[in-house]
């Protein structure tokens, strides 16, 4: 179907575009931005009124757990894609910690096949760094790259051996794809379940110190300098991490970073009621950490907003805090929570869109995240004003686990368009 998005506010930071106008989509591609559209023109096109709405490139999430193969009770590729579409995301990058782990081409091909046949948004897989994410021998990186992996990561199971990490970085350099790290020294985080600090002490829960993240970021920045391989730091959560990345960037190190809505909005006070929906790794930290992450987003130290969408079943979450699984279902509230940064004047709307579109695309070497003429029409249409509350029961995701349930937010996704086709609408 051919479409015309009429009278919207078109914001596409990839081409410094911010103006009122129309977007014509023909045969799945961006055809152009005609100033006027006559009543009789564009016969057979579906016309969509976008007055008072933003039209931007479809959102891209660098950090999603789709759970298939192996944990379909938590999420499938189909339901994860539906959740993404409802959140305004047209491309999601999925982590390899499935069962079996995505450490060889046959798993990569399975994910891509499922995404093609059952998914409604683009799915780009990340391959594991080591076999089984065991941190010992390198995964089949070359064949996973050939099959379509856009980066490598042992997310959640950090590679503890620096020599193996170095080898992975040397090896992956030939493919010009990034290494994405979940920075955590398991020796320091041990069996911690929340942020280490006053709140963990008062609750009698074992804490995870900021240092467990920071020492690994420092190590991998050193390895990034040694090897020249691009490094992407996932879900930055501490003031020290922001400082280390900022300093490395100032020296021209090839490092990028992401932050999640839960890390830039929440403090560990939320755990006081033993709220296991707020149990996540890295943990939700203190007000000083939140402040530092917001500063990092504002000054560009943190390049990207990502969700770390980690759906779990109710049984895995509604148990004692110590026993609950780590993770938050994030795809369906990320845009609204990011808009709060704009409303509080921490970043501009253009910056927010950049961090959710062309910047994440660039990190994985993708040409997505743009409305340039001729580009594939992956688009989100949203408003920034309508008030609502996050309602976990309305999630398309199988994971209803969010500490934001009941939070007041503004903004709503009206249309998500993938490849020129409307895959989600709510008007
Ligand atoms: Zn992680």
What digits encode the pLDDT tens for the residues 248-266? 999 999 999 999 999 999 9
Q: How far is the CA of 180 from the centre of ligand 1 (A)?
A: 9
DSSP string, 292-306: HHHHHHHHTSS-EE-
How many Cα neighbours within 13 Å face the side chain of 178? Answer: 23
Write the CA distances from 118 to 20, 80, 121, 301, integer angstroms: 35, 10, 9, 37
In the prediction, which pLDDT does 273 show?
84
Q: How far is the CA of 15 from the centre of ligand 1 (A)?
A: 32
Q: How far is the CA of 309 from the centre of ligand 1 (A)?
A: 10
Q: How far is the CA of 326 from the centre of ligand 1 (A)?
A: 10
CA pair distance 424, 93, nearest whole angstrom = 19
In the prediction, which pLDDT does 303 show?
98
Strands 59-64 and 89-94 come out as parallel
CA pair distance 150, 365, nearest whole angstrom = 8
CA pair distance 194, 171, nearest whole angstrom = 35
Strands 408-418 and 421-425 come out as antiparallel
3-state DSSP call for residue 207?
strand
Does pLDDT of 40 surpass 80? no
Q: Decide: residue 403, CB within 10 A, 0-12 exposed, 13-18 middle, 19+ buried.
A: buried
- Token code pair at residue 105: 């081409």
DSSP string, 33-86: --S---SSSSTTPEEEE-TT-EEEEPEEEEEE---TTT-TTT--HHHHHHHHHH
Mark 94-113 as b/e (b = at least 16 C-beta within 10 Å): bbbbbeebbbbbebbbbbbe
Q: How far is the CA of 282 from the centre of ligand 1 (A)?
A: 7
Q: What is the pLDDT of residues 66-81, one digit of tens each?
A: 999 999 999 999 999 9
pLDDT band at 204 (very low <50, low <70, confident <90, very high): very high
In the prediction, which pLDDT does 41 show?
76
Residues designated as active site: 308
Q: Decide: residue 391, CB within 10 A, 0-12 exposed, 13-18 middle, 19+ buried.
A: middle
In the prediction, which pLDDT does 250 show?
98
Average pLDDT over residues 188-202: 96
CA pair distance 19, 31, nearest whole angstrom = 17
Q: How far is the CA of 260 from the centre of ligand 1 (A)?
A: 11
User: Which of 187, 271, 283, 165 lies closest to 235 in space, CA to CA?
Assistant: 283
CA pair distance 77, 29, nearest whole angstrom = 25
CA pair distance 378, 422, nearest whole angstrom = 9
Cis peptide before 237 (omega within 30 of 0): no
Average pLDDT over residues 242-246: 98
Does pLDDT of 113 surpass 80? yes
pLDDT band at 363 (very low <50, low <70, confident <90, very high): very high
Q: How far is the CA of 155 from the centre of ligand 1 (A)?
A: 5
pLDDT band at 335 (very low <50, low <70, confident <90, very high): very high
In the prediction, which pLDDT does 359 show?
98
Q: What is the pLDDT of residues 319-328, one digit of tens each?
A: 999 999 999 9
Average pLDDT, the chain: 97
Q: How far is the CA of 377 from the centre of ligand 1 (A)?
A: 30
- Token code pair at residue 184: 């955590």
Q: What is the pLDDT of residues 299-319, one digit of tens each?
A: 999 999 999 999 999 999 999
Which stretches does DSSP call E strand in 276-338? 304-305
pLDDT band at 45 (very low <50, low <70, confident <90, very high): very high
Q: How far is the CA of 8 from the centre of ligand 1 (A)?
A: 36
Does pLDDT of 166 surpass 80? yes
Q: How far is the CA of 310 from the centre of ligand 1 (A)?
A: 9
Strands 3-12 and 17-26 come out as antiparallel
In the prediction, which pLDDT does 33 show?
96
Average pLDDT over residues 150-170: 97
Question: What share of the chain has pLDDT > 70, as a percent?
Answer: 100
CA pair distance 387, 293, nearest whole angstrom = 26
pLDDT band at 370 (very low <50, low <70, confident <90, very high): very high
Q: How far is the CA of 397 from the centre of ligand 1 (A)?
A: 19
Average pLDDT over residues 209-238: 98
pLDDT band at 331 (very low <50, low <70, confident <90, very high): very high
CA pair distance 394, 104, nearest whole angstrom = 35
Asked if 378 and 421 touch (Cβ cutoff 8 Å), the reply is no
């Amino acid at each position: 179907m051919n479409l015309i998005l009429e009278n919207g506010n078109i914001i596409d930071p990839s081409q410094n575009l911010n103006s009122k106008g129309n977007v014509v989509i023909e045969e799945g591609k961006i055809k152009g931005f005609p100033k006027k559209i006559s009543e009789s023109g564009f016969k057979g096109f579906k016309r969509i009124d976008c007055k008072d709405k933003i039209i931007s490139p479809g959102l891209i999430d660098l950090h999603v757990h789709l759970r298939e193969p192996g944990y379909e009770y938590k999420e499938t590729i189909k339901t994860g894609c539906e959740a993404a579409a409802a959140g305004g995301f047209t491309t999601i990058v999925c982590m390899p910690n499935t069962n079996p782990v995505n450490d060889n081409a046959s798993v990569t091909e399975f994910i891509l096949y499922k995404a093609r046949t059952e998914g409604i948004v683009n799915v780009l897989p990340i391959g594991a760094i080591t076999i089984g994410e065991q941190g010992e021998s390198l995964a089949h990186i070359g064949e996973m790259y050939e099959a379509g992996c856009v980066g490598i990561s042992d997310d959640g199971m950090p590679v503890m051996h620096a020599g193996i990490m170095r080898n992975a970085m040397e090896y992956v350099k030939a493919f010009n794809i990034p290494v994405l790290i979940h920075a955590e020294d398991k020796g320091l985080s041990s069996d911690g379940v929340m942020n280490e600090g006053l709140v963990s002490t008062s609750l009698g829960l074992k804490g995870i110190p900021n240092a467990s993240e920071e020492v690994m970021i420092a190590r991998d920045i050193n390895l990034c300098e040694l090897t020249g391989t691009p490094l992407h730091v996932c879900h930055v959560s501490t003031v020290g991490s922001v400082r280390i990345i900022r300093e490395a960037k100032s020296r021209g190190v090839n490092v990028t970073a992401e932050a999640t809505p839960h890390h830039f909005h929440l403090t560990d006070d939320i755990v006081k009621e033993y709220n296991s929906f707020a149990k996540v790794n890295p943990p939700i930290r203190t007000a000083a950490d939140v402040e530092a992450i917001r500063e990092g987003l504002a000054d560009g130290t943190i390049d990207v907003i990502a969700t770390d969408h980690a759906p779990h079943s109710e049984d895995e979450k509604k148990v004692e805090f110590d026993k609950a699984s780590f993770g938050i279902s994030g795809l369906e509230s990320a845009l609204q929570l990011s808009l709060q940064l704009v409303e509080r004047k921490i970043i501009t709307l253009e910056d927010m869109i950049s961090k959710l579109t062309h910047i994440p695309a660039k990190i994985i070497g993708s040409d997505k995240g743009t409305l340039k003429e001729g580009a594939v029409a992956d688009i989100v249409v949203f408003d920034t004003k309508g008030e609502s509350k996050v309602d976990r029961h309305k999630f398309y995701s199988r994971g209803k686990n969010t500490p934001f349930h009941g939070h007041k937010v503004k903004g709503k996704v009206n249309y998500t368009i993938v490849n020129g086709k409307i895959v989600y609408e709510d008007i």
